[in-house]
Amino acid sequence: MLILISDAFASNLPAKLARFGEVTDDKSRLPEADIVLVRSKTKCTREYIDEAKNLKMIIRGGVGLDNVDRQYAQQKGIVVHNTPKASSIAVAELAFALMIAVPNKIIPGHVSMSQGHWIKKELTRTELFGKTLGLIGVGLIGTEMAKRARAFGMKVIAYDKYLDEHPFAELKPTLDEVLAEADYVSLHTPLTDETKGMINKQTLAKMKDGAVLVNSGRGKCIVREDVAEALHSGKLGGYATDVWYSDPPENEPITSAPNVVMTPHIGASSKENLLRIGDIVEELIEDFVKNQ
Ligand code: NAD
């Protein structure tokens, strides 16, 4: 059996998987591979799947499956798995770090000092304590975010189209209600036809003036030109994001907009998470081998 590790996984993974067969990271061997391991970089499109003539299983180490054409894989009899539970802590910790960096002026403080300036008087901070966090999507990652926000003394409200109750967030029946009430809005939905572009000119207008938007969900859940415009006008007080239209972003209006805190899609990239993902990948392959 040939296992192709196509994206970045924990460095100990090839050794862990060696007992199942040959393990390679040589992408030119895709046509021979029985199992392909991807994160978000490799796009398992129709063409990719057609090239993988021997493929029986795709494992996406991570949550979102928007880089895998699941329907086509299924048609071809290829099993698709992801590792949905592994990444919640890693992503929530990064989302929280992005959120907390905005009112604490971590980026302007750091950048100005690295340029030799001391702008202590100019940097007025605000606190998260007593503010309202509005979560859009309150599944595994949103729930971890809610727990952390409550520990900081925030009120947590949420809109989740597919949930009726939640232990840590007060659910609101509409997106608009959350947008109108929240000081911080954090996106935690998958990218679907419903969520694509859900934060746009119209929905931004419903937010409080100066509210902060946090995005660790997917770049395309926002309309980037509209978010950039809202940052330039001051309608948005900040945009803290880990996710982009593409990795890396191209012709990106957000990177040069004011009051942005940004990371290069590293939400799931904690060392601990990669080890957890590796353990789950090993279990999935073990089950696959047993059922052969
Ligand atoms: P999850 O499935 O546990 O939670 C998603 C929640 O969104 C669910 O509760 C669902 O009901 C809700 N939802 C779906 N459609 C909605 C809609 N139209 N309106 C409102 N709510 C809706 O998933 P999760 O593990 O919490 O992950 C959430 C997303 O985070 C992933 O789909 C992925 O896009 C993103 N993610 C990003 C990174 C990163 O590196 N930044 C890593 C992992 C996941």
Q: Beta-strand (E) ranges in the chain?
A: 2-5, 22-24, 35-38, 57-60, 79-82, 132-136, 155-159, 170-171, 184-187, 211-215, 236-241, 260-262
State which CATH number among 3.30.450.20, 3.40.630.10, 3.40.50.720, 3.30.420.40 fits the domain covering 87-258. Answer: 3.40.50.720
- Out of 3.40.50.720, 3.30.2350.10, 3.30.70.2740, 3.40.1160.10, which CATH number does the structure's domain 2-82+270-291 have? 3.40.50.720
* pLDDT averaged over 10-residue windows placed end to end, the chain, 292 residues: 96 97 98 97 97 98 93 97 95 98 98 98 97 98 98 98 98 98 98 97 98 98 98 98 97 98 96 96 97 88
- Tokens standing for residue 278: 């590796």
User: What local confidence, expressed as pLDDT, does residue 292 receive?
Assistant: 85
Closest residue CA from atom 36 of ligand 1: 217
For ligand 1, is residue 67 a contact (CB within 6 Å)? no
Residue 182 in contact with residue 128, Cβ under 8 Å?
no
Cα torsion angle, 141, 143, 148, 152, sign:
positive
Q: How far is CA 54 from CA 35, 213, 285, in A?
A: 9, 44, 16
Domains 2-82+270-291 and 87-258 share a fold: yes
Task: Compute, in angstroms, the gap from residue 232 CA to the centroid of ligand 1.
Answer: 28
Please tell me the predicted confidence (pLDDT) of residue 64. Answer: 85
Cβ–ligand 1 contact at 242 (below 6 Å): yes
Which ligand 1 atom lies nearest to the CA of residue 94?
Answer: 41
Q: What gap in Å lies between CA 255 and CA 250, rounded to an integer? A: 10
Predicted model pTM: 0.93
How many whole angstroms from 190 Cα to the centroid of ligand 1? 4
How many whole angstroms separate alpha carbon 84 and alpha carbon 62? 6
Which residue puts its alpha carbon closest to atom 25 of ligand 1? Answer: 140
The residue type at 117: H
Preceding peptide of 248 cis, ω within 30°: yes
Phi (first) and psi of residue 38, to 5 degrees: -130, 155
Nearest CA to ligand 1 atom 44: 63
* Residue 239 and residue 227 in contact, taking contact as beta carbons nearer than 8 Å: yes
The two tokens of residue 228 are 């950039």
- Whether 163 lines ligand 1, by a CB cut-off of 6 Å, is yes
Q: Which of 45, 36, 50, 14 is nearest to 82 (CA)?
A: 36
3-state secondary structure 149-173: HHHCCCEEEEECCCCCCCCCCEECC
Does residue 268 have its Cβ closer than 6 Å to ligand 1?
yes
How does 84-99 read in b/e, with b if 16+ C-beta sit within 10 Å? bebbbbbbbbbbbbbb
**Are 231 and 239 contacting, i.e. CB atoms less than 8 angstroms apart?**
yes
Nearest to 238 by CA among 176, 186, 177: 186
Cβ neighbours of residue 92 closer than 8 Å, sequence gap 6 or more: 141, 144, 145, 148
- What is the rounded radius of gyration, in angstroms, for the C-alpha atoms of the chain? 21
All structural domains of the chain with their residue ranges: 2-82+270-291, 87-258
Residue 108: per-residue pLDDT: 97
